[in-house]
Amino acid sequence: MKKILLADSDEANSAILELILNEFEYNVRRISSIQNCAEELASAHYDLLLFGLESNQEEGFRIIEDIRQKPEIADINLIFIIPNTEKIDVANAYRLGALDFIKRHSVPEVVLEKVRDAVAVTGKDTILVVDDEPMNLFLFTNLLGIRYNIITAGSGREALDILERESVDLLLLDLHMPDIDGFDVMRRLSAIPECDNLPIIVVTADSDFDTEAEIFQAGARDYISKPLVMQVAIQRIRRIIELSHLQKSLEDEVRKKSRELMLANTRLRQLSDQTIFALSCAIDAKDSYTNGHSRRVAMYAREISRRLGKSQEEQLDIYNVALLHDVGKIAIPESIIEKPGKLTNEEFEIIKSHTTRGYEILKTISVMPSLYIGALWHHERYDGRGYPHGKAGEDIPEIARIICVADCYDAMSSDRSYRGALPQAVVRSEIEKGMGTQFDPRFARIMLTMIDEDKDYRMRGKNSTDINRMTEIKDQ
Ligand SMILES: [Fe+2]
């Protein structure tokens, strides 16, 4: 909870202020004697001083001047509470580091807005003032010194040197200078990456429209006219710095949200990958003799697609589609799937229906419409004599053609209920024979290369899963 010291001899007004601020969860300590202000500030930590100026402004200014001399409390954020009727010395108040002014008997909304802005001020912003006229440098330093860290430069060259090595929150830039003028400084700033979003306010005696346009075109956020009207200058400087902070915090927020979104996306992707994997385990568990089949087919299909030059993303999609290519077998009775002997025609028709049943299961997943492609068409043949639709050649989606080769390879190179794994040479010649008839020759050729590289015939299923087999082969 932010702590505010409210020092004002107008007790009626400060009682109302205290009420308003307490209502909005500020912790307010109220004193009626402004003379005790420094002592009170030194006794506890405060985030803001609301200081009442009397008709005798001089005394109030003197007290604040004293506070600014005491290092332990000199940095206190300050708002002056001012009389409604009398004019106050605004320039002097700003010189003393006033953030703002609240008129007595202001409406609560105004009070709250100003207090909220003032307590949000943390640390001092740094302003680099560039002017070849020493009087202007002195004026700005004197006026802004309490609220901001002021660095001065007497020339454009000196300013660029400072900007190369120091972090600055605002650049106050004179336009007409002998060596490098203000426009030149702005142009050269583009070569300093740290100054990418540095807000610039130009200070100039030129008031013609062309110069105005040129100033904004050069990248300045605002300009201040000479001769200087200090109240206007200070308000503009403050506004630009606040806007710059706002922009920075917005950028931080966008970065934070993007990171969160990316993490959420990764989690979703993991969830879908793991769900698909779990489902493939359920499929494989149906038949103890083909245990691990879906995973091996998925690995072979991914390896073929890797060798085709597909992106990581595409390889992962193909892997997932292949994992579910036999999902329809969930709907086929185990007595048929695990039958050791020859199948009757009727049983074979039932087995064949795992393609369309797989499609029925997966078509409902609308966010990944390609999921069903592998399940529905992995038994199509390149020559059009496959099932369920007798599609041929390029009419069969590419993923299904890749899975078809991988699927047949695994069927031949794995132990089955009715036979052991076929010898590698037999598997190789079957794949070769099927080029252009059963298989797309392009993908069959890649499979043959993979077989040829697999000298010890490690790429096979021995009634057990061997998930790292492909990685081992790739590493050889
Ligand atoms: Fe199948």
Low-confidence ranges of the chain (pLDDT < 70): 122, 288-290, 417-418, 462-476
376 CA distance to ligand 1 middle (Å) = 9
Q: Taking the domains of the chain in order of start, what are their residue ranges?
A: 3-119, 126-256, 286-475
Q: Cβ distance 404 to 378 under 8 Å? A: yes
b/e 366-396 (16+ beta carbons within 10 angstroms → b): eeeeebbbbbbbbbbbbeeebeeeebeeeeb
272 CA distance to ligand 1 middle (Å) = 22
Q: What is the pTM of this model?
A: 0.57
Rg (CA), the chain: 39
321 CA distance to ligand 1 middle (Å) = 13
The helix/strand/coil state of 116 is helix
Q: Which residues pair with 129 in a beta bridge?
A: 152, 172
Q: Is 449 left (phi over 0), alpha (psi -120 to 50) or beta?
A: alpha
What are the residues whose beta carbons fall under 8 Å from the beta carbon of 86, sequence distance 6 or more? 55
- Which token pair is 236? 């503009």
pLDDT of residue 470: 39
CATH superfamily assigned to domain 3-119: Response regulator (3.40.50.2300)
354 CA distance to ligand 1 middle (Å) = 7
106 CA distance to ligand 1 middle (Å) = 80
415 CA distance to ligand 1 middle (Å) = 16
Element spanning 101, H or E:
strand 98-103
Q: Cβ distance 199 to 173 under 8 Å? A: no
pLDDT of residue 451: 96
**48: exposed, middle or buried (Cβ count in 10 Å: 0-12, 13-18, 19+):** buried
394 CA distance to ligand 1 middle (Å) = 20
324 CA distance to ligand 1 middle (Å) = 10
418 CA distance to ligand 1 middle (Å) = 17
355 CA distance to ligand 1 middle (Å) = 7
446 CA distance to ligand 1 middle (Å) = 21
Contacts 24+ apart (CB under 8 A), 189-194: 189/160, 189/163, 189/219, 192/160, 192/163, 192/164, 194/163, 194/167
pLDDT of residue 289: 66
pLDDT of residue 106: 86
Distance CA(218)–CA(202), nearest Å, equals 10
The CATH-assigned architecture of domain 286-475 is Orthogonal Bundle (1.10)
pLDDT of residue 433: 97
Distance CA(130)–CA(157), nearest Å, equals 10
CATH 3.40.50.2300 fits 126-256, yes or no: yes
pLDDT of residue 125: 87
Nearest to 60 by CA among 16, 101, 108: 101
Matching CATH topology for 126-256 and 286-475? no
405 CA distance to ligand 1 middle (Å) = 11
pLDDT of residue 464: 42
Distance CA(142)–CA(430), nearest Å, equals 91
Nearest to 368 by CA among 334, 409, 327: 327
Q: How would DSSP label each residue in 378-403? A: TT--TTS--SSS---GGGS-HHHHHH
